[in-house]
Amino acid sequence: MTTLQIKSRPRPGSINTSINPVLATVLANRGIKEPNDLDLGLKNLLPPTGLSHIDLAAELLSEAITAAANVVIIGDFDADGATSCALAVRCLKAFGLDSVSYLVPNRFEFGYGLSPEIVGVAATRQPDVIVTVDNGISSVDGVHAAQALGMSVLITDHHLPGEQIPTADVIVNPNLPGDKFASKNLAGVGVIFYVMLALRAKLRAMGWFEASGIKEPNMSQFLDLVALGTVADVVPLDRNNRILVQQGLQRIRNGQACEGIKALLAVGNRNTSRLATADLGFVIGPRLNAAGRLDDMSIGIEALLADDPNAAMCHASQLDELNKERKQVEQSMQQDALGILSSLETKSRENQSIYLLHNESWHQGVVGLVASRMKERLARPVIAMAPGDCSGEWKGSARSVEGVHIRDLLARLDAVYPGLMVKFGGHAMAAGMSIKGENLERFGKAISQITDEFTQSHDWSQTIWTDGSLSADDFTIEMAELLRQSSPWGQGFPEPVFDGNFEVMETRIVGLTHLKMRLRPTNSNQLVDGICFGYMENNKQEPSGHVRLAYKLDVNEFRDRLTLQLIIQHIE
């Protein structure tokens, strides 16, 4: 398999600033060149005017509000969709619209997006306007069905459009052809936030708030939802997204989050005042997603809409239990996936450009997680598939590696083998598709052929790029806290990773596969703790002697006691 190697990034020019030199190097490594780039205040947020058709969206929604129309929000069943839905409902109600509700397709009955079937369900509420959030750009038939019933349709989405664009009344999507918005990386929740910014400006210009006796809402109150959805959807954190996330994080740390987010942090045993970006992605995100994977995302949306702390905690507890169940299902499916891989011949296992894994007993709501875990293990794109509904369709979820655009790959397959996939969509690193069960073997051969062609010149070698080594004086809780709180870290703006030589003083296994270590940096007499999650899954014995590590500085909080800990990414 692919060999990992640790390399320090070339030292960039230093930022002309008085901040800590370690942090200055880290930020320079991520393209921060000027002190002004460090200013993540709301005044630096890109204006809504850059998004195509956003004025038309504001006009459509302002007319709906002034006419007291019936609006139905159609969401998606992941954390981005849940936060988008909650934000849309909260904003429209704050703007004075009473008749606003939401509907999220149950993935097991209706699948993804604004399908004709979900339009039929929505029609029972007799909506005047349908607004999609985090979906809709591929819903050609669903839009036709809604418009045929006399509904206006506003699509807000961020997914890449296909060759055919729906005939919605208005579409707002930074990835539409010709759109000039500078940030193409908005999550679905970011798109609907911008639409609501434009709508508030439209209503203000009309004198709506004053005439209606409504206090004009401060849009910053919704940034906790924007931060959560943006991080959970793993979109690249360009400067605009970092501003949205940073401002949302500050509100949550200051105790200004909605009751649902507070409750989810409580069941996840997280200290709100010390919240880091990773807590949104690894604590709240999975609990929200568990509802969409195993049950009904309405549980998650209701948590985010709850204003009563007791109601919010009730929903959060349900989500926590669903997440525990999800972990058990995922663990079983991972073992199945490892069994499939071990059954492959060694030569085949090491030379495939993509892996298609499927099992009749798998849960379609969890295949994305299995694909992600196996992708990390194999350093290759992975598609995991499970049976869908009784129609005989199989649902698949793909996860890719840097440099292999999985949605473009699927588009190429669709062009070469039209009709082989019932539908598909997604991003560069993640995508979904459905196929008929009888085409499973044919799909496997086709996707292998297309990926081989797609990746002929791709370099599969893997390097863990680090921010260099730390001096003995840098192994402190204060340094770890500084790095933790300094910036929203995430996709495209990764957490600081360092490398260095250590002597292994003690080791022990915890949780069956995790390796706890007591280490001494070779440039210091100080002893530090370290943990390498899942180390024993791929290794038969514990390391000893002198090792080179790639690691993150972290603070372990246990029983109100803070200690320095290294989160070890790789051991040489």
Q: Residue 503's domain spans which residues?
A: 5-9+463-571
Residue type, 540: K
What pLDDT was estimated at residue 19?
84
User: Is 19 part of any domain?
Assistant: no
User: Is 502 part of any domain?
Assistant: yes
Q: Are residues 270 and 161 in the same domain?
A: yes
Q: Are residues 310 and 362 in the same domain?
A: no
What pLDDT was estimated at residue 1?
41
User: Is 400 part of any domain?
Assistant: yes
Q: Are residues 441 and 473 in the same domain?
A: no
CATH number at residue 529: 2.40.50.460
pTM for the model: 0.90
- Taking CA atoms, 541 is separated from 2, 347, 509, 538, in Å, by 20, 25, 10, 9
What pLDDT was estimated at residue 10?
73
CATH number at residue 380: 3.10.310.30
Residue type, 149: L
Summarised one tens digit per residue, pLDDT across range 272-310 is 988 999 999 999 999 999 998 888 899 999 999 999 999
User: Is 164 part of any domain?
Assistant: yes
User: Is 22 part of any domain?
Assistant: no
DSSP strand pairing (421-426 vs 71-74):
unpaired
Q: Which residues contact 558 (CB under 8 A, 6 or more apart)?
A: none
In SS3 terms, 291-340 reads as HHHHCCCHHHHHHHHCCCHHHHHHHHHHHHHHHHHHHHHHHHHHHHHHHH
Q: Are residues 424 and 498 in the same domain?
A: no
User: Is 31 part of any domain?
Assistant: no
What pLDDT was estimated at residue 56?
98
Burial label for 163, CB within 10 Å (0-12, 13-18, 19+), is exposed
Q: Are residues 300 and 383 in the same domain?
A: no
User: Is 330 part of any domain?
Assistant: no
Q: Are residues 249 and 383 in the same domain?
A: no
Burial label for 51, CB within 10 Å (0-12, 13-18, 19+), is buried
Q: Are residues 49 and 194 in the same domain?
A: yes
Q: Are residues 377 and 493 in the same domain?
A: no
Residue type, 347: K
**Res 515 pLDDT > 80:** yes
**Res 524 pLDDT > 90:** no
Q: Are residues 290 and 370 in the same domain?
A: no
Q: How many residues does the chain have?
A: 572
Q: Are residues 58 and 169 in the same domain?
A: yes
- Counting the structural domains of the chain, the total is 3
Summarised one tens digit per residue, pLDDT across range 403-417 is 899 999 999 999 999
CATH number at residue 240: 3.90.1640.30
Last residue of one domain, picked from the residues 425, 458, 491:
458
What would the DSSP string read from start to end of 10-34? Answer: PPPPPPSS-S-HHHHHHHHHTT--S
Using alpha carbons, select from 233, 248, 154 the residue that is nearest to residue 188. Answer: 233
User: Is 78 part of any domain?
Assistant: yes
Q: Are residues 188 and 263 in the same domain?
A: yes
Q: Are residues 61 and 186 in the same domain?
A: yes
Average pLDDT over residues 95-114: 86
**Res 349 pLDDT > 60:** no
Last residue of one domain, picked from the residues 458, 487, 513:
458
Whether the Cβ atoms of residue 225 and residue 187 lie closer than 8 Å to each other: no
